[in-house]
Amino acid sequence: MRRPLMIAACIGLATVAGAQKTASSGITLSPATTSPAESSSTNFFTPTIVSTTQNSGSTTVVLDISGVPSVDGAGDPDNTLIDLPIPAGALVTGIGWDVNQSTVGLSWLSEMTIGFDNTDPGSLVGLALAPSITDAPGVEANSSGGIVDFTDNALSDIPIQPDGILRFEFFEAFVDTAGLTEGVWDSPSTLTIVYEGGSAVPTVGQWGLIVLGLVLLGGVVFMTVRQKKALSVN
């Protein structure tokens, strides 16, 4: 009889804590309400790039985020950021995840969130990823089972700015204890990013057009100089 009683006591505690919390919406990937670009954090984590593969115009990058903590609410300076280099002008079109999550204290798995966006604070294209829908503390493995394409799911692709950065912020959707770690993205945890375009090496055809454009531009400049000279003579 002692074990069932202990479980009942734990559920009671979770229910009390849950009174302040917002139940998970059940949506894993959603438009962000705060852009990671606006975070005041300076805690940058450098992920190990597991692989980079290219396939007919799209590039897939797998990064290892094992060990990153989940601390405070979006924008808090105690949070961890990742600045992933992506070619300027590229469109981030999808994401995948294979993560192991654990919580600390009474914090819930569903509160562990990863925001990602370009570094334009004015853009509203950022997305928030909360891989767990478990409104309880615990240890859990979660996988997308492949790439989740943004536009297939009524979400916007993310255009990369001239700085060539896709920024991630690891935050808590509900802060139980400010300033303390409430969850950990345990090993092994990887994120997969898919992007299209960007600064690909121009093809021969494109180079031909660029050279032609320069020749035409040169001709215009030359003609302008000649006209000016003619005017000055007259």
Which residues lie near Ca ion (CB under 5 A)? 72, 76, 78, 107, 111, 172, 174, 176, 179, 182
What is the nearest approach in angstroms of Ca ion to the Cβ of residue 67? Answer: 18
What is the nearest approach in angstroms of Ca ion to the Cβ of residue 174? Answer: 5
**Nearer CB in complex with Ca ion: 30/43:** 43
**Nearer CB in complex with Ca ion: 93/107:** 107
- Residue closest to Ca ion (Cβ): 107
What is the nearest approach in angstroms of Ca ion to the Cβ of residue 104? Answer: 9
Distance between CA 19 and CA 62 in Å, rounded?
38
What is the nearest approach in angstroms of Ca ion to the Cβ of residue 45? Answer: 17
Distance between CA 76 and CA 66 in Å, rounded?
21
* Residue whose C-alpha is closest to residue 142's, from 15, 24, 43: 24
**Nearer CB in complex with Ca ion: 10/210:** 10
Name every residue whose Cβ is closer than 8 Å to that of residue 5 and which is 6 or more positions away in sequence. Answer: none
What is the nearest approach in angstroms of Ca ion to the Cβ of residue 156? Answer: 27
**Nearer CB in complex with Ca ion: 40/56:** 40
> Distances from the Cα of 172 to the Cαs of 9, 88, 147, 189, in angstroms?
25, 29, 24, 17
* Residue whose C-alpha is closest to residue 116's, from 187, 60, 171, 46: 171
Name every residue whose Cβ is closer than 8 Å to that of residue 134 and which is 6 or more positions away in sequence. Answer: 24, 108, 109, 110, 140
**Nearer CB in complex with Ca ion: 20/232:** 20
**Nearer CB in complex with Ca ion: 117/182:** 182
What is the nearest approach in angstroms of Ca ion to the Cβ of residue 94? Answer: 27
